[in-house]
Amino acid sequence: MNNLEKYVDYLQPVVKTFRENYNQFYRLEYYNLSAEDLTVEEGLVEFQTQDKNRPEHFSGNIPLVYAQYGEETGASMVLELSAEQRKLLSPEVANTILGEHYKLWEDGVVYLLMDHEYYQTCSGFTVTEQIDPTNGGDANNALDFLSRSLHLECFLIEEGYSDLEYTLWASSYTNA
C-alpha cells in the first residue's frame, strides 16, 4: 500500500463525517488508473467518463487521489507517475501534464498536483505543481496539497495536529 492509499484510508472517517453532516459533495477517493484512462480536452485532463466514474471501475497501476470539496468546483487530485508509467501515456496527455520536454524527464516518481477547472464547454484538471523527489522535491507536499484542498489543515504532515506523519512512517517501516 503506497502513501497515497494510506492517506485516503487514514482520513476516511473524517471525510465520512463531513459528508454525512455538513457537505454531501465532500469526497476523498483512491483510484488505480491505466494510461488509457487519462484524456485531454481543451488542455484539461480528465479520467472519469459517464460509464467509468467510481474507484472500482478502474484497474490500472497508476495511483490517483481525488479530493472534492464542492459540487462542481473545489476538486483537486494528485497523480503519482513512475518512469515506466510515463512512457505509457499518450503524447497529448504527457505533453499536457508534464510539459513539452516530457521525454527528457529522469527516472523516478513524479507527483502531479492538479486543480479542477470548469469552462463553458468542458471541465477537467490542470497541473498546478509537479513534484520530483529525485530532484529535491518533497513527496509529502502532495499529501499536504490534498489536506489543504479539503480544508483540513490539521492533517498537514509536519505542521498538523494529527499523527498522520507517524502513521505513514510506521506503516512503511512495518511493511518493509
pLDDT at residue 114 in the model: 96
Which range, of 48-52, 77-81, 85-89, 170-174, averages the lowest pLDDT?
170-174
Average pLDDT of the segment spanning 94-112: 82
**What is d(CA 36, CA 19) in angstroms, rounded to the nearest whole number?**
31
Residues 132-142 pLDDT 10s: 887 788 888 99
Question: For residue 172, is pLDDT > 60?
Answer: no
Domain ranges of the chain: 3-174
Average pLDDT of the segment spanning 150-171: 71
Which range, of 21-30, 54-63, 163-172, averages the lowest pLDDT?
163-172
Burial (CB < 10 A; 0-12, 13-18, 19+), residue 147, is: buried
Question: For residue 170, is pLDDT > 80?
Answer: no
**DSSP letter string over 101-162?**
TGGG--SS-EEEEEEEEE-SS-EEEEEEEEE-GGGT--THHHHHHHHHHTT-GGG-TTTSSS
What is the band of 166 on the pLDDT scale with cuts at 50, 70, 90? low
